[in-house]
């Protein structure tokens, strides 16, 4: 009896310690946030505006998507990290009925790593409007449950009313002051080999060369150009919004829900999937993934380990000889790699794996079967110490790349400078902004616009561009 009581007492002590530890962790995080609030001279302005949302788009959810089990309409918006309203913030008013926004967990990582200097992050809400009503709607009225504010938004039902695309839809992070046409050309040509693909390019500012290149692939029905919204210029919260980093999920959600697709991936334009087996490579990535889906029918995403690639031949010219061989180095930064995701088994995509998932929740492709090649600009011409050598492109692939380049050049009727450009964002300008205001969101580079404008002939998104949809401030 004493032994039993002793055991219970021991378990009680352990349980009490765990509760105390858990409370300490929560209190430490809460105290850290409070310290950051107090240290920030803009905290009153930030807190006063914390309930403001910036609504962007509303899409009807395809019935074959996993999220269709929860709702029928998805709203995509920006939310502030100090916003504590998790329920009933706004609703759809329809035929004298009210359909409140339902929220999944809010992802605040960017706010945390910036120490709450970058305050806004993409979020999403879903609504349970009867499906037979949704399919015939063209617009919806959104009403604030706090202020009574009303606003009518277009409802995109294109995806929900279409047949699923049985190919791979590629979602890219926002292109912002992007000018590396050669990198983009190689990225698009690699996907062109797969044939059954759609590439969604979200952009804010592109060099003219890149813009004309993308328009060329748009005519080939490979690329779909989508202008990104501009955060309101006269808004006092503008300087707390990241523009060059971290806002990807708002575009990834739009990419997934504006399309009805079976397979989805999020890819930077310096990344490529590579299959080692020659026969599998010839049949393509889609068939490779379908084989894995048949083998592992309960898995929602298939993940590829990332490796930096460094070219052995560093002479960049239109022979494309530099693309044939290189060295591999394990990518210690991008340990989560990239994934092919199944839309009927995931709710929301993110950079590497589905939102709120871990690599172990999916299936990681063995590295001797297939990997992710990361052709990072500061690494491809680096003298790598790796002894792992591989062939990136065979002779037929290289000749095809060269042939397609010659066709492109004739179509554009212009001389393209054969150069692998680096990012143009000025670190000097960013550091200057940070020094000027220590509470400034470091990844907001709007104040550097005048300086960057001098470096290229830029094409910007604007309200006049077709398919442009603005952020709407909403409380």
pLDDT tens per residue, range 15-51? 555 555 555 545 665 665 565 555 566 677 778 888 9
CATH number for the domain that contains residue 337: 3.90.550
The model's pTM is 0.89
102 and 178 share a domain? no
61 and 86 share a domain? yes
d(CA 119, CA 111): 5
Residue (of 338, 357, 337) closest to 347 by Cα position: 357
Mean residue pLDDT across the chain: 89
- Look at residue 280 and tell me if it is in a domain: yes
| pLDDT, position 442 | 81
Last residue of a domain, one of 412, 440, 465: 412
117 and 216 share a domain? no
| pLDDT, position 166 | 97
Q: What domain range includes position 111?
A: 48-160
Buried b (16+ CB within 10 A) or exposed e, 127-162: bebeeeebeebeebebbbeeeeeeeebebbbebbee
- Look at residue 10 and tell me if it is in a domain: no
| pLDDT, position 35 | 59
Last residue of a domain, one of 387, 412, 437: 412
- Look at residue 272 and tell me if it is in a domain: yes
Share of the chain above pLDDT 70, in %: 88
d(CA 123, CA 102): 11
- Look at residue 345 and tell me if it is in a domain: yes
198 and 71 share a domain? no
264 and 403 share a domain? yes
153 and 215 share a domain? no
Total domains in the chain come to 2
């Amino acid at each position: 009896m004493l032994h039993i009581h002793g055991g219970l007492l021991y378990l009680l002590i352990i349980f009490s310690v765990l509760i105390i530890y858990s409370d300490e962790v929560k209190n430490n995080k809460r105290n850290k946030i409070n310290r950051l609030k107090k240290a920030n001279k803009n905290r009153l302005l930030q807190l006063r505006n914390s309930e403001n949302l910036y609504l962007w788009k509303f899409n009807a959810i395809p019935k074959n998507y996993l999220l269709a089990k929860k709702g029928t309409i998805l709203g995509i918006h920006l939310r502030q990290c100090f916003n504590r309203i998790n329920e009933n913030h706004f609703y759809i008013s329809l035929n004298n009925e009210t359909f409140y926004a339902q929220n999944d967990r809010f992802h605040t990582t960017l706010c945390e790593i910036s120490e709450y200097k970058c305050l806004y992050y993409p979020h999403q809400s879903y609504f349970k409007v009867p499906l037979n009503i949704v399919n015939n709607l063209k617009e919806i009225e959104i009403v604030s449950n706090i202020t009574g504010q009303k606003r009518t938004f277009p409802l995109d039902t294109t995806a929900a009313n279409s047949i699923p695309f049985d190919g791979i839809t590629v979602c890219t992070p926002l292109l912002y002051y992007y000018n590396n046409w050669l990198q983009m050309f190689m990225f698009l040509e690699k996907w062109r080999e797969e044939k059954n693909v759609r590439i969604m390019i979200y952009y804010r500012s592109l060099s003219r060369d890149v813009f004309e290149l993308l328009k060329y692939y748009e005519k080939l029905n490979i690329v779909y150009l989508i202008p990104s919204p501009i955060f309101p210029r006269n808004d006092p919260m503008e300087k707390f919004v990241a523009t060059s980093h971290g806002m990807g999920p708002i575009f990834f959600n739009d990419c997934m829900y504006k399309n009805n697709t079976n397979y989805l991936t999020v890819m930077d334009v310096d990344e490529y999937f590579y299959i080692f087996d020659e026969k599998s490579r010839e049949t393509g990535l889609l068939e490779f993934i379908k084989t894995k889906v048949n083998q592992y029918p309960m898995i929602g995403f298939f993940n590829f380990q990332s490796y930096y690639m460094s070219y052995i031949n560093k002479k960049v010219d239109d022979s494309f000889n530099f693309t044939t061989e290189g060295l591999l180095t394990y990518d210690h930064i991008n340990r989560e790699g990239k994934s092919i995701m199944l839309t009927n088994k995931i709710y929301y995509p993110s950079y590497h794996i589905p939102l709120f998932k871990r690599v172990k929740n999916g299936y990681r492709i063995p590295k001797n079967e297939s990997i992710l090649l990361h052709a990072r600009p500061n690494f491809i011409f680096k003298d790598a110490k790796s002894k792992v050598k591989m062939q990136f492109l065979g002779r037929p692939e290289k000749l095809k790349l060269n042939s397609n380049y010659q066709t492109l050049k004739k179509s554009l009727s212009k001389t393209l400078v054969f150069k692998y450009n680096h990012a143009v964002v000025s670190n000097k300008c960013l550091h200057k902004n940070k020094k000027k205001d220590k509470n400034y969101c470091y990844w907001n580079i709007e104040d550097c616009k005048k300086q960057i404008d001098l470096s290229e002939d830029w094409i910007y998104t604007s309200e006049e561009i077709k398919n442009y949809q603005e952020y709407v401030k909403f409380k």
